Structure 1
Amino acid sequence: MEGLFLPLLLMLVVAVPLIMGTRKQKRAMQQQQELQSSLNDGDRVMTTSGMYATVADASDETTIDLEIAEGVVTTWLRQAVREKIEPVVESDVDDESEDGDAAELTAADATESDSETDSERSKEGAQVAPPLEHGKK
Structure 2
Amino acid sequence: MLKQTVWRRNGGRHTIQCNDIQGLLRALFDAPDVPDVVKDAKQSPYFLAQGIGEFLSSRFSGDEETLDFTHGMLTGTAIAELQVELRRLRQRVGALHADSVAAPLRGKRGVGVLLALREWEPESFTARRRA
The TM-score normalised by the length of structure 2 is: 0.24
Q: Which protein has the bigger strand share?
A: 1
Which is greater in Rg? 1
Query: Which protein has greater RCO, CA pairs closer than 8 Å, 6+ apart?
Result: 2
The TM-score normalised by the length of structure 1 is: 0.23
